[in-house]
């Protein structure tokens, strides 16, 4: 009887999650219909955002670009540092240092996003001129790092650095827990065969923990995609696609919703919900891709053994 009750309860919990996700999607579609119906621009390719104009003219091209490029740059910065930190805590640091550093990372993961945003606005932005000028001087041949106006504040690059700092504790903490789950026999067998510590990590730890690291990375990406306040405080909220990420421009779905909600009219609110629907779909797609990658690499994790 206990097993049947528990099975039915877990089945109901799973069904409830699916129904809840479907209800959220249906609500977003229903509220977004007026925006799709009245918009005179192309919703997917228009960069301007004038949903309350007469006639309404808006699109998500600039928002999608800002969301994507800021999240990708944040992931490029955060993932290597997070994985390296997790490996250091798990296999190189002494017990005292590992405990202290692990505690600090766990605390950083719990810091509210507005704190990161205020720190980025009041502290980080004031000290980013050096690195952004260096990127322009030495890597300016790459369009991403070229700055043609000589102003280095309120940029996607600074927002990406803040996002990277925000998601780094999450990725590092989860990756550390995954690495520590590697069976001791796997590690000791590698060392017994003459492997160095790095070779043991490369051949035994990383293959076993790859699905967990992918899950941690996708969780960090989800936070980067949906981050609102921190990005809204830093970006200049310009509706344009600008590949020069060190220049003051850019906007994201979440930041635009937060900044425009109180001043939006009926069509403006519907347009914001429509942009939220696109973000909802992007998040679902990212998670589906993550699940597919995890399933593909599951045989290396030891989960089937």
Q: Which domains does the chain have, with CATH numbers?
A: 63-300 (1.10.3720.10)
pLDDT of residue 215: 85
Between 13 and 187, name the one with better pLDDT: 13
Say if residue 302's pLDDT is above 80.
Answer: no
Interval 105-143: pLDDT, tens: 888 888 888 899 899 988 988 888 888 889 888 888 888
Beta-carbon contacts of 294 under 8 Å, excluding residues fewer than 6 positions away, are 211, 214, 215
C-alpha R_g of the chain: 23
Task: Compute the mean pLDDT over every residue in the chain, rounded to the nearest whole number.
Answer: 88
pLDDT of residue 2: 81
Residue 32 dihedral angles phi and psi, to the nearest 5°: -85, -15
Say what the pTM is.
0.87
Interval 70-105: pLDDT, tens: 999 999 999 999 999 999 998 888 888 988 888 888
pLDDT of residue 297: 61
Burial class (CB in 10 A: 0-12, 13-18, 19+), 6: exposed
Query: Cα separation of 82 and 175, whole Å?
Result: 8
Beta-carbon contacts of 173 under 8 Å, excluding residues fewer than 6 positions away, are 86, 102, 105, 106, 109
Say if residue 303's pLDDT is above 50.
Answer: no
Query: Cα separation of 185 and 182, whole Å?
Result: 8
Interval 19-55: pLDDT, tens: 999 999 999 999 999 999 999 989 999 999 999 888 8
Interval 195-237: pLDDT, tens: 888 888 888 888 888 888 888 898 888 888 888 888 888 887 7
Pick the closest to residue 242 from 103, 164, 145, 105 (CA basis).
145
């Amino acid at each position: 009887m206990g097993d049947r009750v528990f099975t039915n309860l877990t089945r109901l919990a799973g069904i409830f999650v699916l129904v809840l996700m479907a209800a959220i999607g249906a609500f977003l579609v229903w509220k977004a219909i007026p925006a799709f119906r009245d918009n005179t621009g192309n919703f997917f390719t228009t960069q301007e955002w004038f949903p309350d104009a007469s006639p309404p003219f808006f699109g998500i091209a600039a928002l999608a670009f800002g969301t994507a490029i800021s999240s990708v740059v944040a992931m490029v910065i955060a993932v290597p540092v997070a994985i390296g930190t997790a490996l250091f805590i798990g296999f190189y640091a002494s017990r005292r240092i590992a405990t202290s550093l692990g505690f600090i990372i766990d605390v950083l993961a719990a810091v509210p996003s507005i704190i990161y945003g205020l720190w980025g606005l009041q502290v980080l932005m004031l000290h980013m001129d050096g690195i952004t000028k260096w990127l322009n001087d030495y890597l300016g041949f790459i369009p991403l790092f070229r700055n043609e106006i000589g102003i280095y504040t309120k940029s996607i690059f600074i927002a990406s650095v803040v996002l990277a700092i925000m998601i780094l504790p999450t990725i590092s903490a989860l990756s550390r827990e995954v690495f520590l789950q590697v069976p001791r026999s796997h590690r000791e067998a590698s060392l017994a065969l003459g492997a160095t510590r790095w070779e043991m990590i490369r051949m035994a730890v990383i293959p076993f923990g790859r699905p967990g690291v992918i899950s941690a990375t996708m969780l960090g990406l989800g936070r980067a995609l949906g981050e609102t306040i921190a990005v809204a405080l830093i970006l200049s909220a310009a509706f344009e696609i600008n590949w020069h990420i060190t220049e003051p421009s850019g906007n994201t779905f979440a930041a635009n919703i937060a900044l425009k909600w109180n001043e939006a009219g009926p069509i403006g609110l519907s347009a914001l919900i429509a942009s939220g629907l696109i973000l909802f779909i992007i998040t679902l797609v990212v998670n589906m891709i993550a699940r597919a990658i995890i399933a593909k690499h599951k045989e290396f994790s030891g989960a089937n053994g």
